Every structure is written in C-alpha cells, then in structure tokens.
C-alpha cells in the first residue's frame, strides 16, 4: 500500500527569529484527513512550526507546499486563502468585538464570506454555547468560551487543514475534555488536523501520528499507542 500524496509537504525547513534558529532542517508530510500531533517541551519550536506554515514566521530555507502548490514565501492572508487555518495559542480573539463579530472575521475572505451563513450554522451546531454567547464581548468570556470562539473563528475560514496550537492550555480538565470531543468530531468530518500540545495523554489515543519535536528537530514519530509503550521517550522528552 502506498501512502497518498501529502496534502502538506514540509521539506528541510529552517526558520527562526533574527539570528536564532528554532526549526532546524525539519521535514514532515501530512496526508489528507490525517491527524498529526506535535508534542515536545516548551520553547523547542512547536508554535514556530505552525507559524512558519501559516506564514507569520518566514522560512529561511526549505519549502512548504499545500496540495503540490508552493506556499513557502506567501503572505499569511494568502495562505489562509489557500486553505490552511492556524488557531493560535492563547486564542488571540478580537477582544472588543462580540463572539458573532469574531466568528464573522473568520469569514473575512471573499470565498469564505460567500459560505458564511452555512458555516455559522455548522459552528453553532458544533459549539452550541457560542450561539447563546454570540452577542457577548469577547474579553468577557470564560477561558473555555474563548477557546471555543477561537476554534469557531478558525472553522469559519473553511480551511482544509486545521492547525491548533495548545488547545488545552490553561483550561480545566472538564473543559479540555469538551475541546477534545470537538477535535474528534472535526476529525470524523474528514478534516486534516495538525495539533500542538506540550504533553497530553489525551492526544496519544486520538492522533494518527505523534511527532516528538526537540530542539527544532523531529526525534521520533509514530503511533500514539506506540509512544505510550516507550517510557524512555516520554521520560526524556516529555518529563515522564
């Protein structure tokens, strides 16, 4: 059996800030519909990898392609338009806008605006709480509601590839469970998901593939169940 052609192909990418190299000659292929989890200690390049894919951080070497089309040096707004959506760490909501206005900003691009009515219903169906909160100013939401608004806003773009940066960060366990149930449903609907977490057993049982990122390089990748059976890896890279 051959693997399907990758939807996202990252080849030998080096990236960082100023003179500081954060991603060191890193490669990763993501198949359509695949759920890839990227784990590793803080400050080792997980968020930078997502930012490099979404165009916020330029790659100094290497290439990134989406469905065979090179997007390496495109602007972030062009990369969203191409179909990769990045839900950033810490939500980064538009604090003075309502939940509904935040969601509508997700449908800012013309192709997303054309679908915004239907997508808004989809988002409300997935996250019914947002429907109740739609008139509320984003800065007054609880942490869980903020996270849901951030993810809902990302879904409004209609991107084929959904990148989530630490969706469990700072949330109570019960809310984290809700967020991961949502991720399950998004996966079941056929979306390609790239998810970054510091360390969460919750993702090992869900992800098709777990990649361990350490010092800007992938040191291991494989199934989540397999990683659970490798205590030495967990010990070395994820602190047990």
Partner 1 sequence: MDVLVQIVASGLTLGAMYAVSTVGLSLVYGSLNMLNMAHGAILTIGGYAAYAVSQQLGWPAPLGFLAAIVVGALIGLLIFAAAARPLLKSRNFETNVFIATIGVGAVLENVVLKLFGPYAKPQPLNIPGGVRVGAVLIPYQNIAILGVAIAMMAIVALLLQRSRAGRAIRATAQNREAAELMGVHVHGVYAQVLALSGALAAVSGVMISSLATLSPTMGGDPMLKAFIICVVAGLGNTYGAVAAAMVIGLLEAATQYLLGVRFGFALLLLLVIAVLIWRPSGFFGKARIVRL
Which stretch, 69-77, 124-132, 176-184, 222-230, contacts partner 1 (CB under 8 A)? 69-77
In terms of CB distance, is 126 or 175 closer to partner 1?
Answer: 175
Per rule CB under 8 A, count of chain residues that contact partner 1: 34
For position 193 contacting partner 1 by CB under 8 A, the verdict is: no
According to DSSP, the β-strands at 161-165 and 8-17 are unpaired
146-90-187 Cα angle (round to 5): 75
Closest separation in Å from C-beta 133 to partner 1? 14
- x/- contact string, 29-58, with partner 1 (CB under 8 A)? -------------------------xxx--
Give whole-number Cα distances, 178 to 18, 132, 148, 164, in Å. 38, 17, 10, 15
For position 59 contacting partner 1 by CB under 8 A, the verdict is: no
Question: What residues numbered 123-152 form the site for partner 1, per CB under 8 A?
Answer: 139, 141-143, 146
User: Rounded to an integer, what distance in angstroms lies between the CA atom of residue 76 and that of residue 88?
Assistant: 13
Closest separation in Å from C-beta 44 to partner 1? 21
User: Rounded to an integer, what distance in angstroms lies between the CA atom of residue 233 and that of residue 240?
Assistant: 8
Give whole-number Cα distances, 65 to 4, 56, 117, 162, in Å. 15, 16, 30, 15
46 three-state secondary structure: helix
128 three-state secondary structure: helix
Of 93, 130, 196, 207, the one binding partner 1 (CB under 8 A) is: 93
Q: Which residues bind partner 1 (CB under 8 A)?
A: 54-56, 75-77, 80-81, 85-86, 88, 92-97, 101, 104-106, 108-109, 112-113, 139, 141-143, 146, 153-154, 157, 170
């Amino acid at each position: 059996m051959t693997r399907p052609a990758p939807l996202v192909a990252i080849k030998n990418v080096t990236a960082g800030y100023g003179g500081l190299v954060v991603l060191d000659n890193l490669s990763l292929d993501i198949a359509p519909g695949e759920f890839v989890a990227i784990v590793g200690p803080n400050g080792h390049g997980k968020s930078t990898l997502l930012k490099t894919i979404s165009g916020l951080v330029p790659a100094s070497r290497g290439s990134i392609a989406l469905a065979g089309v090179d997007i390496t040096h495109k602007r972030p707004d062009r990369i969203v338009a191409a179909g990769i959506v990045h839900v950033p760490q810490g939500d980064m909501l538009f604090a003075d806008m309502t939940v509904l206005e935040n969601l509508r900003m997700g449908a800012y691009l013309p192709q997303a605006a054309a679908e915004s009515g239907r997508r808004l219903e989809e988002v409300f169906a997935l996250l019914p709480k947002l429907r109740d909160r739609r008139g509320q100013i984003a800065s007054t939401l609880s942490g869980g509601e903020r996270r849901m608004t951030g993810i809902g806003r990302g879904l409004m773009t209609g991107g084929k590839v959904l990148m989530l940066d630490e969706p469990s960060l700072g949330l109570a366990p019960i809310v984290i469970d809700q967020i991961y149930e949502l991720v399950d449903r998004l996966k079941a609907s056929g979306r390609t998901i790239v998810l970054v977490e510091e360390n969460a057993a919750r993702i090992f049982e869900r992800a098709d593939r777990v990649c361990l990122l350490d010092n800007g390089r992938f040191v291991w990748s494989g199934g989540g169940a397999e990683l659970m059976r490798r205590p030495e890896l967990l010990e070395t890279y994820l602190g047990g």
